[in-house]
Chain A
């Protein structure tokens, strides 16, 4: 009787241990998806660390934003597009660059590309079962469709002064990606704020050229 009792308690001990293991291993390492970031704008910049911006002064900027999506390429001249272009000019002027006016030849050309991409994906549960009389059978479950749309604005500072005519190559000395998942909507002030941030995080983009 004592032995049985001891044996039962040992089993109970191992049960607790087992439950602990299940809890421990079963807990997901990723935080809840509600805590994840879905709609914030990310600003990513990169400049050419070998270039000396003091050798450049004049710039020109495109008069529209080029929109590229899954179907077509269009040129945006709406209020938001103009606000973005104006904000870029404002920041360039604040950094000592001057907008080139004919007949001055610009050192930099600035263009803004806006990519909008919708990704459609399917998902379904993929359970399988074993039925003793018929062997392995895959259960049929309906396939679900979902999609997400990403928006990416790419500001490019193209070097027009130093080019590679042999290979027909232009060098991009600085670019900024402003990226967001378009599950909601971003206001114009959020977008122009992101343009400001792109310049703020690149203090190297400044000139003292006369």
Chain B
């Protein structure tokens, strides 16, 4: 939980930097930008009961295109994420069949999110441009339970919503390169049903830090 607070503080810090640099304008008008980010995942709720460990295994690529309405962008995000953890000597039961299994097990969920995104940049022509956005789309997830060499898994497609706050930080007034920092909350209709583990509406927090290439 402390890490989550730290992330929130970081995002607000980025916002603070934004205000401090509001007077510095870009030397050109951006028309679009592409991002490639390192994605950190923090599972929440039922998802956290499945894999309680935050994961740094994830990448995200995105594109945003400026719309005629000032500051408004539309685009996409495609990601790859994996959360995993080893649990020692846990018992799984199938009560109606009288089955119980106790074993050290390795659980992981592999995710491929794909979303259409709409975002509003408050000051799009400035060096630091904070934004709020909403992603709507889906995920392909595989939930795996590995016991010895056995792999018990379920594949699930879902619908997802992702409100996001972040900032696009350009490296210079005439530079096409920049950095992106974003923090989002993701709600999905995804579920896990393996043995007695029954979780629905998987949720998570994501922190993305990456590079951006800005088009004029």
Interface set of A (CB-CB < 8 Å, partner B):
6, 9-10, 12-13, 16-17, 19-21, 23-25, 27, 29, 31, 35-38, 40-49, 179-181, 197, 201-202, 204
Interface set of B (CB-CB < 8 Å, partner A):
32, 34, 36, 57, 59-61, 63, 78-80, 82, 84, 86, 89, 91, 93, 96-106, 108, 110, 142, 146-149, 176, 211, 213, 215-216
Q: List 28 A-B contacts (CB under 8 A).
A: A6-B216, A9-B216, A13-B215, A20-B61, A23-B59, A23-B80, A24-B78, A25-B80, A27-B59, A29-B82, A35-B84, A37-B105, A37-B106, A37-B146, A40-B103, A42-B101, A42-B103, A42-B104, A42-B147, A43-B101, A43-B102, A46-B100, A49-B97, A49-B98, A197-B89, A201-B100, A201-B102, A202-B100
- Whether B213 and A16, one on each chain, are in contact in the complex, defined by CB atoms closer than 8 angstroms, is yes
Query: In terms of DSSP, what is the predominant structure of the interface of chain A?
Result: mixed
- Of A16, A35, A38, the most chain B CB neighbours within 10 A belong to A16
Query: In terms of DSSP, what is the predominant structure of the interface of chain B?
Result: strand
- Whether B59 and A47, one on each chain, are in contact in the complex, defined by CB atoms closer than 8 angstroms, is no
Residues of A within 8 A of B78 (CB): 21, 24
Knowing A37-B105, A37-B148 are in contact, say whether A44-B99 is a contact too (CB < 8 A). yes
User: Which residue of the partner chain B has the closest CB to A17?
Assistant: B34
- Whether A42 and B213, one on each chain, are in contact in the complex, defined by CB atoms closer than 8 angstroms, is no
- Whether B97 and A46, one on each chain, are in contact in the complex, defined by CB atoms closer than 8 angstroms, is yes
Residues of A within 8 A of B84 (CB): 31, 35
Complex Cα distance, B215 from A21, in Å, reads 19
- Whether B213 and A197, one on each chain, are in contact in the complex, defined by CB atoms closer than 8 angstroms, is no
Complex Cα distance, B60 from A189, in Å, reads 48
Knowing A27-B80, A31-B106, A45-B99 are in contact, say whether A179-B148 is a contact too (CB < 8 A). yes
Contact of A9 among B100, B106, B215 (CB under 8 A): B215
- Whether B148 and A29, one on each chain, are in contact in the complex, defined by CB atoms closer than 8 angstroms, is no
Knowing A17-B63, A35-B106 are in contact, say whether A29-B100 is a contact too (CB < 8 A). no
Least CB distance from B186 to A in Å reads 17
- Whether B36 and A20, one on each chain, are in contact in the complex, defined by CB atoms closer than 8 angstroms, is yes
Residues of A within 8 A of B146 (CB): 36-37
User: Which residue of the partner chain A has the closest CB to B102?
Assistant: A43
Knowing A9-B216, A13-B215, A37-B86 are in contact, say whether A31-B96 is a contact too (CB < 8 A). no
Least CB distance from B216 to A in Å reads 7
Residues of A within 8 A of B105 (CB): 37
Least CB distance from A176 to B in Å reads 9
3 smallest CB-CB distances across A and B, nearest first, come from A20-B61, A42-B103, A201-B100
* Known A24-B61, A27-B80; 5 more pairs at CB < 8 Å: A6-B216, A9-B176, A23-B36, A37-B86, A41-B103
Least CB distance from A177 to B in Å reads 9
Residues of A within 8 A of B91 (CB): 201
User: Which residue of the partner chain A has the closest CB to B91?
Assistant: A201
- Of A27, A37, A47, A49, the most chain B CB neighbours within 10 A belong to A37
Residues of A within 8 A of B36 (CB): 16-17, 19-20, 23
- Whether A12 and B102, one on each chain, are in contact in the complex, defined by CB atoms closer than 8 angstroms, is no
